[in-house]
Amino acid sequence: MKTQPIKIILDTDPGGDDSFAFLWLQSLARQGLAEIVAITSVDGNVHAKHTFAGSCKLLQLGGFSQVEVGRGVIGGSASEDIEDAGYIHGADGMGNLSHTLPAAHQDYETARYSDDLLIDKLNAAPNEMIVVAIGPLTNLAAAEKKAPGILKLAKQIVIMGGAFLQPGNVTPEAEFNIAYDPEAADLVFRCCNHLVVMPLNVTRKLVFTPNLAEQISAVNPDHPIAKFITALCQFMVGTAMTFRETAGKPGFLVHDAATLAYLFYPETLMFQRAQVDIETKGEWTRGKTIMDRRNNAKPTANAWVALDVDAVNLLAIIAEDLKFLIR
Ligand code: BDR
Ligand code: CA
């Protein structure tokens, strides 16, 4: 039986790991499994101007340049107390490799804002779109503020963010996407109950190695995507090792790819239904995700939270799908 492609709006802040998820999504779209409805770029890993340009370039590279890219909303509490992550992802967010990619084909100055694009696409097809949010939740919160109830029109919202009963990655307690704009995250977690959350609990297990990059590029080493994957992997491994993110294993964490695993390879993940809240006030805990684990009734539970992943299997799946893109 032929299945309908899953309609996806990707909210992203490329980002080394965003770039891998983005390419993987384009592979899934080429295979007829996904439809990329829009990209809503967001201020996060690097400034909104760079995440917009990076998104355009990745679409050009993957052959989906017709997809509209929104420019990230600037504002809210974004970046008040957390610096961006250019020190991990490179000044352009893409391992300082963006100059090797095709030129951006859409103009930042005239692009629609990402919140307007989200509102437009969700209104046009209620309960059909999956919003995959792999950056700070600034755009989603802005859309909800402008058009209350709009996020409920998404079929589901799949988020990379948070950490439960384990350390954060930008503060002792908080994960980057939530900590960068805690007020936005708070708003999204308060107004939705159809959230799927991929926290550091699972993404810390997804160590993408240079060996996997080599396996992919061996299929067609001269292909521009193969060259980009190899060079980006090399850059990301460098910063991941410096910041001791992989327990000494040469590789880097493909956090954002976990969201697509949920949609296309759900057998690789284990979930718990939960009431998740965002700490916005704590002096030491701002941006922390809290899961109420007491045995009391939770009629307002708002999220499915992934707590375990079959990492070996999932990484092999990602590599195979990326090969598809360069054949
Ligand atoms: C998240 O933060 C960003 O730096 C990554 O792209 C990912 O979305 C991981 O904490
Ligand atoms: Ca990201």
Q: pLDDT digits over 95-141, tens only? A: 999 999 999 889 999 999 999 999 999 999 999 999 999 999 999 99
Q: Does domain 6-326 have CATH number 2.60.40.10?
A: no
As a whole number of angstroms, the distance between CA 220 and CA 241 comes to 28
DSSP-assigned letter for residue 167: -
Percent of the chain with pLDDT over 90: 92
Mean pLDDT across 197-215: 98
pLDDT band at 84 (very low <50, low <70, confident <90, very high): confident
**Does 46 contact ligand 1 (Cβ within 6 A)?**
no
pLDDT for 77 beyond 90: no
pLDDT for 78 beyond 60: no
Domain parsing of the chain, residue ranges:
6-326
DSSP-assigned letter for residue 137: S
pLDDT band at 311 (very low <50, low <70, confident <90, very high): very high
**Does 134 contact ligand 1 (Cβ within 6 A)?**
yes
pLDDT band at 3 (very low <50, low <70, confident <90, very high): confident
**Does 175 contact ligand 1 (Cβ within 6 A)?**
yes
Contacts of 240 (CB under 8 A, 6+ apart): 88, 246, 251, 252, 253
**Does 45 contact ligand 1 (Cβ within 6 A)?**
yes
Q: How close are the terminal C-alpha atoms of the chain, in Å? A: 26
pLDDT band at 146 (very low <50, low <70, confident <90, very high): very high
pLDDT band at 83 (very low <50, low <70, confident <90, very high): confident
Ligand 1 atom closest to 200 (CA)? 10
Percent of the chain with pLDDT over 70: 98
